[in-house]
């Protein structure tokens, strides 16, 4: 199939013919060197054109057909053609519009027509532009959908979950229990056998051998002690804390004298921390969380120091207007940071909700640990929910069957009066550990079952643990669990420990 001549190729052929015949109607291109080169490369085209000087159209077409197999590109100046030549478009499409020529013409490919070359180049440019625009669109969309992940000062990703806490709002608004009267009644009954519990006016000095539930003056001490006591026995937690004291020592002078040298723990390796607390259980996870907490606290302390110093220099003239206590707190924070004494005592100045938000941002710290620190260290009303409290409140009907420990905390925090939160927290734990009928693993055949329970008439024991489990856990079943690795203790210390056969989602080692 023959290809049709194009206008530009026809003009080029006409210019060559006119040059050979010295035609006065055609302006000769000044670039004769390139024209000669074209003759050498395409002898057939030149001979055909010269053989028929009086029939430029026919001979031009023949010449182009013979030269169409060459891939040589020729750059030349544009010849100016007479208006009489090639003034008609093929297929009766009308007259050719008068062209406006520039001094020179871009490279012309003899293998293809100008129109085809322009189309190919145009398509390539369009395709490239489309690809670039698609890339930009995708990148923009990805940035909008996936914002840059913020990290803590130590490079760790912050927790994604805030546990769904709803401060001041119950997740079960349809449940109006427990009422104030119910709380008062249970508190009175449990106090009759476990003793009256009241919150201390002042926090006792910390022990270097007992962890406890964070009832110490230092917020950081309270946080770490409670972390170590999670998901293990009191004895094991004490061993872990004692291991830190023996390995890293206590401060002998300066701010925090007598406290554990937490900065030395921070600078140690995870392996060293693991070796120090390995006797306490779950040391692999707890050592990593402990190190990460101390790293974050150190970075925060230094950042707060810089901010306080900056604000102090800017507001020096207003320093007399700052309350005396606030000024002392500020100077205390600056001194702690300068001496590398790690501290979270600034949480004393936050509201309960703000303190909860700050505490649960640390790795390994969940609502239970945070609530314990708020209740015992910050001395704020806060109803921390552990496994014993969760079990008893479930049997009392104070939380619905679908509740978990997080939603139970949110609900009970709203429903239980503030003045009873400390005492009920302590009484529920004591009762859950010691009552023959209210322990985690017990049944009618268990020793002491016949002694009864002071709140037995208020309970409906469904036997569910974390939403599943047998209706009644018999003594044989408890022994089987013990054989599987959960040692059953029969001495007095057994009353002091958390039953490991009933783990909780509040175990702070799994909060991340």
178 prior amide bond cis, ω within 30: yes
pLDDT at 128: 75
- 226 CA to centre of own chain: 25
Closest CA to 461 of 448, 473, 478: 473
Q: Which residues contact 366 (CB under 8 A, 6 or more apart)?
A: 163, 360, 506, 508, 511
Neighbours of 154 (CB within 10 A): 15
Q: Please choose, from the candidates 404, 479, 483, 389, the residue with its C-alpha nearest in 3D space to the C-alpha of residue 438.
A: 389
Q: Rounded to whole angstroms, how far apart are CA atoms 139 and 173? A: 44
pLDDT per 10-residue tile (average), the chain, 512 residues: 63 72 48 54 49 46 44 48 50 53 46 56 72 72 49 55 79 96 97 94 76 79 91 87 93 84 95 94 93 96 91 60 70 90 92 93 93 94 94 96 94 96 96 92 86 94 50 46 46 37 38 36
Tokens of 14: 């006409």
Specify the pLDDT at position 469.
Answer: 39
* Biggest alpha carbon–alpha carbon distance for the chain: 132
Distance CA(38)–CA(35), nearest Å, equals: 5
- CA gap 93, 367 in Å, rounded: 84
Answer yes or no: are the C-beta atoms of 350 and 358 closer than 8 Å.
Answer: yes
Give the pLDDT score at 49.
44
pTM > 0.75: yes or no: no
User: How far apart, in whole angstroms, are the C-alpha atoms of residue 426 and residue 108?
Assistant: 94
Q: Is residue 280 within 8 Å of residue 236, measured between CB atoms?
A: yes
pLDDT at residue 92, rounded to an integer? 54
pLDDT given at position 127:
78
Residue 395 is predicted with a pLDDT of: 96
Answer for the pair 386, 498: CB distance below 8 angstroms, yes or no: yes
Q: How far apart are CA 69 and CA 110, in angstroms?
A: 8
Tell me, what's the pLDDT at 144? 47
Burial class (CB in 10 A: 0-12, 13-18, 19+), 310: exposed
Q: Domains in the chain, start-ordered, CATH in brackets?
A: 161-199+382-462 (1.10.1670.10), 208-378 (1.10.340.30)
The phi and psi torsions of 98 (rounded to 5 degrees) equal -65, 120
């Amino acid at each position: 199939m023959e290809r049709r001549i194009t206008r530009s190729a026809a003009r080029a052929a006409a210019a060559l013919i006119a040059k050979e015949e010295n035609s006065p109607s055609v302006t000769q291109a000044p670039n004769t060197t390139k024209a000669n080169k074209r003759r050498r490369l395409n002898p057939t085209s030149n001979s055909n054109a010269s053989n028929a000087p009086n029939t430029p159209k026919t001979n031009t077409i023949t010449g182009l057909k013979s030269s169409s197999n060459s891939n040589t590109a020729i750059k030349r100046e544009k010849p100016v053609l007479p208006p009489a030549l090639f003034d008609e478009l093929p297929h009766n499409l009308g007259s050719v519009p008068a062209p406006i020529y520039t001094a020179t013409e871009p490279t012309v490919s003899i293998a293809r027509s100008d129109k085809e070359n322009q189309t190919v180049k145009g398509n390539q440019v369009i395709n490239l532009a489309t690809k670039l625009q698609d890339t930009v669109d995708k990148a923009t969309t990805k940035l909008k959908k996936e914002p840059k992940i913020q990290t803590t000062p130590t490079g760790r990703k912050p927790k994604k979950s805030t546990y769904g806490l709803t401060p001041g709002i119950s997740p079960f608004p349809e449940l109006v229990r427990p009422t104030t009267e119910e709380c008062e009644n249970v508190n009175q009954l449990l106090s009759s056998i476990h003793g009256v519990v009241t919150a201390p006016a002042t926090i006792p000095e910390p022990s270097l051998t007992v962890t406890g539930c964070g009832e110490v003056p230092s917020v950081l001490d309270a946080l770490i002690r409670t972390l170590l006591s999670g998901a293990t026995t009191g004895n094991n937690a004490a061993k872990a804390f004692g291991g830190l004291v023996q390995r890293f020592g206590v401060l002998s002078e300066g701010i925090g004298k007598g406290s554990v040298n937490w900065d030395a723990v921070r600078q140690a390796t995870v392996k060293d921390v693991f070796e120090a607390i390995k006797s306490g259980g779950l040391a692999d996870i707890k050592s990593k969380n402990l190190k990460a907490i101390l790293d974050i606290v150190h970075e925060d302390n230094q950042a707060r120091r810089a901010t306080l110093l900056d604000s102090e220099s800017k507001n020096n003239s207003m320093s007399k207007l700052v309350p005396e206590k606030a000024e002392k707190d500020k100077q205390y924070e600056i001194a702690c940071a300068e001496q590398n004494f790690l501290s979270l005592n600034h949480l004393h100045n936050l509201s309960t909700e703000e303190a909860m938000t700050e505490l649960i941002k640390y790795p390994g710290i969940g609502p239970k640990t945070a609530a314990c620190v708020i209740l015992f260290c910050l001395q704020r009303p806060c109803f921390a929910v552990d496994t014993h409290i969760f079990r008893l409140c479930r049997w009392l009907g104070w939380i619905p069957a679908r509740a978990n420990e997080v939603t139970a905390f949110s609900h009970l925090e709203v429903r239980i009066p503030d003045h009873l939160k400390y005492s009920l927290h302590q009484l529920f734990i004591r009762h859950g550990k010691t009552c023959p009928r209210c322990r985690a693993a017990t049944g009618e055949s268990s020793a002491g079952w016949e002694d009864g329970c002071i709140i037995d008439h208020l309970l409906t024991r469904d036997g569910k643990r974390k939403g599943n489990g047998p209706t009644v856990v018999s003594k044989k079943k408890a022994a089987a669990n013990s054989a599987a690795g959960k040692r059953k203790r029969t001495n007095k210390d057994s009353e002091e420990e958390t039953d490991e056969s009933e783990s909780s989602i509040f175990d702070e080692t799994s909060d991340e």
